[in-house]
Chains A and B, each alone.
Chain A
Amino acid sequence: MLSFNELKIFYGKKTKSNSVPVKIALLTDSSTQLLAQAITGFGVFNDCDYELWQADYNQIDLQIYDNNSALYKFKPDYIIVLRSSEHLLNTFYKTGVNVRENFAAVEINRFENLIQTISANTTCKIITNTYPEINDAVFGNYAAKVVASFIYQIRKLNLSIMDLAQQHENLLLLDMASLVAEKGYCHSFDSKLYVTADMVYNLEILPVIAQNIHSIIQAAESRFKKCLIVDLDNTLWGGVIGDDGLEGIQIGNLGIGKAFSEFQLWIKELKQRGIIIAVCSKNTEAVAKEPFEKHPDMELRLDDIALFVANWESKADNIKHIQQILQIGFDSMVFLDDNIFEREMVRKAIPEVTIPDLPEDPVDYLMYLRTLNLFETASFINEDEGRTKQYQEEAKRVVFQKTFEAESDFLKNLEMVSEISSFNSFSIPRIAQLCQRSNQFNLRTQRYTETELKQLTENNDYFTLSFSLADKFGNHGLIAAIILKKENKNTLFIENWIMSCRVLTRGMEQFSLHAITQLACKNKFSMLKGEYLPTTKNGLVKDHYLKLGFNYIEGFWQMNLNESNFINQTYIQPK
């Protein structure tokens, strides 16, 4: 972790890339100049441009309730509202003793009003904090048993804030309560700074807060980790399976096996949350797989692993192979290996992969990785769990494909079926997630929230199409979404076209276009109009419309439907 002073030096510098800055408005009830420096500095360090606007001191309500305020004029992408336990405690003390039992309820009401006002004025995302817990020692430990105590009310308020975030999709939480619990209140707060400058965060915790705000924003901007690649010997278990044998490796009750068992349980949790787990090990495959199949104390089993790569080739090459099958960016991968030499080799070959320097002692792995907070996310739906199975199926497809010489023979034998549908209440959460996750096959990179998608389906000027794909090896689920907007009575504009990269080169693009033309003809449109808006990540679809036969006219791609006589020439059957 960088120190505050190092962040401040980055704060004075510029990012290398010329991406559009993310606009952040910072509203707080304490002094924030140093926090603003830390957030901007952390962005520069990670080559992300943050344009920060700070409200004057303690102006949260003023800025939010005035719909002509500087806050709304700034047009932020994110509004960060930070409120401190110290100020909350002051408010609490000034609250009549007889109404303190309702303190949290009153506070959450006030806050919900703020959130609703922001949502009425702008569609931006809001980040707010949970409160670090302070026991003011008025009741001692007994406070936890007294409803009218501060600790009781602050905990209740924290729970209410979390509940509120369930109802407001655009409300994200910076969990200060956990962050301060991890570091300790005495290492996060400095009375001297509080009294003289009204700063509630000390210099030690500022970089931690900046890191977490950065992670939350990056996740909301669809930049997050999707895959964890792990080494085996001395990473997933103690010892070397090739030398020590099945009975000799440390896992479960043997030696320091407990450290590895708990580490594996954590990885299994990540898998259940939707992180793809892959193995990359220098081993003979059969030997490496043995513990997963036979060792009674292994928590991870073969069906938890999406891709199992064990051979004697270089790890960098193997990770490139994993990337080709998964079709995700290297920057969404984390690689864990106990061997510093292997880490360096991979780092040199593929610098985009995140490679933590694991502590020397395996008992420290888990604590260390937790503090790195590598797996921040901005959404969660249960379907995430099925992802491992999908990638296992994909690995089988790759093997199947090798049995055909011609691509077309492979596609013909895949027995692909696609279901076309307009957006509905079942598909909208999945489509919203696809909007968040897709960076490469995304023609205009418009990100829609669930609420926005729902509004589209109710708007007569919009048409929507979603596509699922299944084949003989399994079901990909919902893999593409297209949003079409009536521009005038002749022209149908393709407002966005997104597709999962897992189904590239299957003919899905042509199949989808066929569905668009059918929809357009049915609704008497004669012209399709598409647009490609380049980002740093969507170079893949630069020539998408060209390949589909559109003509480039004045910045847009157009296709005249009178001329085109389109039939489904793909190997995909509509369901």
Chain B
Amino acid sequence: MEQKEILLQLNQIFSDILDNTSIVITEISRAKDIEEWDSLNNIQLVVAIEKHFKIKFTTLEIQNWKNVGEMCHSIQKRLQK
């Protein structure tokens, strides 16, 4: 799957979980840029992303994400496996 397509699907997950349809995420978005993206919601986001793409991240991998772009990269890598 292309990074662009992944980002599109991620955007949908973000608006669902954060209950905000106006959210637009880009590769450089970080948690502190989006008001609703706190540590509790992050738990839900990760569970939802894993479920949606039918993948599993490692906990260290999640810890190291600095922005949405790195998140997409992780997803892409796991989808290729």
Expressed in whole angstroms, the Cα–Cα distance for A12 and B19 within the complex equals 10
The answer to the question of A9 belonging to the interface, with a C-beta cut-off of 8 Å to chain B, is yes
For B46, what are the chain A residues with a Cβ–Cβ distance below 8 Å? Answer: 192
Q: Which residue of A lies closest to B50 (CB)?
A: A192
Separation of A195 and B16 alpha carbons in the complex (Å): 26
Contacts of B17 in A (CB 8 A): 5
Which of A196-204, A405-413, A428-436, A557-565 contacts the other chain?
A196-204
Query: Which bucket holds chain B's interface residue count?
Result: 10 to 19
* 0 or 1 for each of A177-214: is its CB under 8 Å from B? (1 = yes): 00000000000001011011101001100000000000
Interface of B is mostly: helix
Contact of A195 among B39, B40, B47, B59 (CB under 8 A): B59
Q: Which residues of A contact B63 (CB under 8 A)?
A: 196
Interface of A is mostly: helix
**B40 in contact with A33 (CB, 8 Å):** yes
Judging by beta carbons under 8 Å apart, are B40 and A5 in contact? no
Asked if B43 contacts A4 (CB within 8 A), the reply is: no
A202 CA to B16 CA, complexed, in Å: 19
Q: In the complex, are the beta carbons of B39 and A8 less than 8 A apart?
A: no
Interface membership of A374, Cβ < 8 A? no
With both beta carbons as reference points, the residue of chain B lying nearest to A31 in the complex is identified as B40
Question: Chain B residues with Cβ under 8 A from A34's Cβ?
Answer: 40, 43
Q: Say whether A197 contacts B39, CB under 8 Å.
A: yes
CA distance A241 to B81 in the complex (A): 57
A202 to B43, CA, bound (A): 10
- Fill in one digit per residue for B34-56: 1 if any A CB lies within 8 Å of its CB, else 0: 00000110011011100000000
Residues of A within 8 A of B59 (CB): 192, 195-196
Q: State which of B19, B47, B62 has its C-beta within 8 Å of the C-beta of A8.
A: B19
User: Shortest Cβ distance from B50 into chain A, in angstroms?
Assistant: 9
Bound form: Cα–Cα A8–B16 in Å: 11
Q: Which A residues have a C-beta under 8 Å from some C-beta of B?
A: 4-5, 8-9, 12, 33-34, 190, 192-193, 195-197, 199, 202-203
12 interchain pairs, CB-CB under 8 A: A5-B16, A8-B44, A190-B47, A192-B46, A192-B62, A196-B62, A196-B63, A197-B39, A197-B43, A199-B43, A203-B44, A203-B47
Enumerate chain B interface residues (CB-CB to A < 8 A): 16-17, 19, 39-40, 43-44, 46-48, 59, 62-63
3 closest residue pairs by CB, A with B: A192-B59, A203-B47, A33-B40
